[in-house]
Amino acid sequence: MKLRFAGVAAGYTDVPAVSEVEVTIAEGEFVALVGPNGSGKSTLLKTVYRALKPSAGAVWLGDDDLWRAPRRDVARAVGVLGQDQAGGFDFSVREAVTLGRYPHHGPFARLGPADAAIVAEALERCGCGPLADRSLATLSGGERQRVLFARALAQRPRLLVLDEPTNHLDPRHQIAVLELAAAAGVTVLAALHSLDLAAQYADTVLVLAEGRVRRSGPPRDVFEPRLLGEVFGVGGSLVDDPVTGAARLLLHAL
């Protein structure tokens, strides 16, 4: 689903944390949102999953102004893996993933066998099958992260919004989550701290610096020495992965 930020500003005080964001993301595009700590990545994502209303501009989801569209339509279309999203209730893993189905039916609906099959598939894909009957509260950070990702997949959304989806994950699961996101066949907007993972998986890298879009484009264009130095304070070399052929970014101190 197409997503467009039209002159978006948002924040927590009179001074916006992000401003003048003017970006169009095409249907099916995988966009990595990168930037230093505090540059506004989570803030911008919150305007998409309706946790923070823009103070200026609009966010368009397809042909709809996301903040004027019915809440349920947005909840159905946008799958979210946010930060600190574990929730206050003590669900089992299967119940937590099943929550991803409710936007399609309403809160008091009885879910059917088709929903159960979708939940089982999402659990399996994320390697959470063996955890299904465990309590969410007892999981490790990485296990919980995978369950929350499984919930977003079980929703079968048209847009995936992922805030540092690889947080807490071991190498195998970092790769698995990004492979699954890329293979989901939907638009993906993911804040990533690893510039190397952004280089490998993103069609487009969107660089935020001090709340503004500093650069956007394909990883091989964006990750050049001057930008890496000015925005991130590091040096870097782009190389081709000898096995996968993907762009890889090797960082070093300046």
Ligand X SMILES: Nc1ncnc2c1ncn2[C@@H]1O[C@H](COP(=O)(O)OP(=O)(O)OP(=O)(O)O)[C@@H](O)[C@H]1O
Residues in contact with ligand X by the rule CB under 6 A? 12, 17, 35, 37-43
* Alpha helix segments (H runs only) across the chain: 41-48, 71-77, 93-98, 113-125, 141-154, 171-183, 195-201, 219-222, 225-227
| Cβ atoms of residues 123 and 132 within 8 Å | yes
Residue 41 vs 94, nearer CB to ligand X: 41
Minimum distance of ligand X from residue 211's CB (angstroms): 7
Residue 42 vs 200, nearer CB to ligand X: 42
Distances (CA, A) of 102 to 10, 93, 99, 109, 110: 29, 15, 6, 8, 9
Minimum distance of ligand X from residue 238's CB (angstroms): 22
Residue 43 vs 145, nearer CB to ligand X: 43
Minimum distance of ligand X from residue 31's CB (angstroms): 15
Residues 6+ positions from 246 with CB-CB distance below 8 Å: 199, 200, 201, 240
Distance CA 1, CA 27 (A): 4
Minimum distance of ligand X from residue 12's CB (angstroms): 3
Residue 17 vs 78, nearer CB to ligand X: 17
